[in-house]
Every structure is written in structure tokens, then in C-alpha cells.
Amino acid sequence: MDIIKRALGRDEIREIDRKAIEGYEIPGIILMENAGRNVADEVLKMLPGTDKSRVAIFCGKGNNGGDGFVIARHLYNKGVDVSVYLTTAASRILSDGDASTNLKILLNMNFEIKELQEELIGEVGRALHDYNVIIDAIFGTGLRGEVREPARTLIAKINETDIPVVSVDIPSGLSCDDGVVLGIAVKATKTVTFVAAKIGFFQRDGKEYTGELIVSDISVPKELIEEYHKKL
């Protein structure tokens, strides 16, 4: 079965995650760790050398942002100069969940975490040209409504650069189920997605925004995924 035929939608992916966590008792933070480490490995392949590379990571408040915090830690430990930007206040992330745990780890490592205010996005946009790779961990597959500020302007600034962009699981702003751009979306050079390709990658605007597609194994039991593929 080829990658397009194996593609799944938002609800199917969520159900697989739920069964992995509740049925197989795999802590969600382990899945997040695997996801972040795998993306970091893909990013390392794109860098000229860890000791002379700079990477910017833009993180939202959900699990996608949590993946970004894991990526930051792994790249930093390899010697990469990493900058982490939040599209929301750190306090909103630190209140609960696996993303909170991974943000706390970065803070305990004395990582500088920069909260993006609307008035600072123009300055950040100009600074992007100094990076080797940009990582998009802003929105995941759960996004339904149109992208709002400050993320909207940030995504526009990312798209204006000629720097390679790696999207985590899905390009931020792209609809998971139908490939529609929700006002604006990141144009990824490479998308590292988890569990299975998403249906939206192959519909409407999906191909234009996804770039090179990597389907990454984060150690979800294979029978959970095959159960849905048998229904296709």
C-alpha cells in the first residue's frame, strides 16, 4: 500500500494516539520524546555542521509546541545554536501537560525562551535570515479555524525567507483533512509527520505546502495503525 493510500485523517490519528496511551499504557510524553528526537535527526541531516549552525524553533501552546521543545533539547545537546520562540505566553504552556514538562526541562537548562509579541515579529522576521533552518512547531493537526495574530504575521515572515523550513507533523495552517489553507500556512521544505501521512497532504493545497514528506515511527504499536489501514 503506497503512502497516499495509507494516509489518515485527524480523528483516526487522534484515536490511534488515545489507544496507544490508554490501551497500551504508553505515556504520551514518550511519544512526544520520540517525535521530537526523530525530527531533530532529520534537521541534523540538513545542517552544514553542528558547531556552526543556527536553528530557530517556533512553538505553539499544544503538543506540537511540546515536540518543538524536545527538538530544541536534542539539537542543543549536539552543539547547535538554538533559538526558541513562543507564539503564546510561557505561563499558558506551563500550567499542564506533556508540553509543560518539556518546556520546564528547557528552563531548567537555562534556555532563553522568547515570547513573541506582535510588535516584535518584524524584528524576528529580519533575524530569520541568520539561521540555517527554521522549525515550524506552531500548530498541529487539531487546527480548524483561520490562523490568527500573532501567528498569522509570523508565518508570513517565515514564508518570505529562503531558509529551509521543517514542519513538525503538519505545516502550520494547513487543514489536516482536506488540504485547505486556513488563511495562511507555512510552506515547508520538509514535513516530518507521525504515525501516518495525513489526508490533507494530497488534497487541494497540500502538496504545495508539505514539501518533502517523511513519515516517522514514534513507536505506536503497528497493529493500531494497521487496523485503520485495513479499513481503507
All residues at 6 or more sequence positions from 58 whose CB lies less than 8 Å from its CB, including other chains: 68, 85, 87, 116, 134, 135, 136, 137, 138, 154, 158
Q: What is the pLDDT of residue 28?
A: 96
Q: What is the pLDDT of residue 60?
A: 94
pLDDT(96) > 90? no
What's the whole-model pTM score?
0.94
Q: What is the pLDDT of residue 230?
A: 61
Express each pLDDT in 16-43 by its tens digit.
999 999 999 999 999 999 999 999 999 9
Strand partners, 59: 86, 137
Q: What is the pLDDT of residue 119?
A: 62
Express each pLDDT in 45-81 by its tens digit.
999 887 889 999 999 999 999 999 999 999 999 999 9
pLDDT(1) > 70? no
Residue 27 burial (10 A CB sphere; 0-12, 13-18, 19+): exposed
Express each pLDDT in 156-192 by its tens digit.
999 999 999 999 999 999 999 999 999 999 999 999 9
Residue 194 phi/psi, 5° resolution?
-120, 145
Contact 132, 1 (CB under 8 A): no
All residues at 6 or more sequence positions from 127 whose CB lies less than 8 Å from its CB, including other chains: 56
Helices 10-18 and 222-229, axial angle in degrees (round to 10): 150
Express each pLDDT in 110-128 by its tens digit.
999 999 876 677 778 788 8
Q: What is the pLDDT of residue 139?
A: 96
Question: Using CA atoms, how far apart are residues 193 and 213, in angstroms rounded to an integer?
Answer: 7
In the chain the domains, ranked by start, together with CATH numbers, are 10-229 (3.40.50.10260)
Q: What is the pLDDT of residue 221?
A: 92
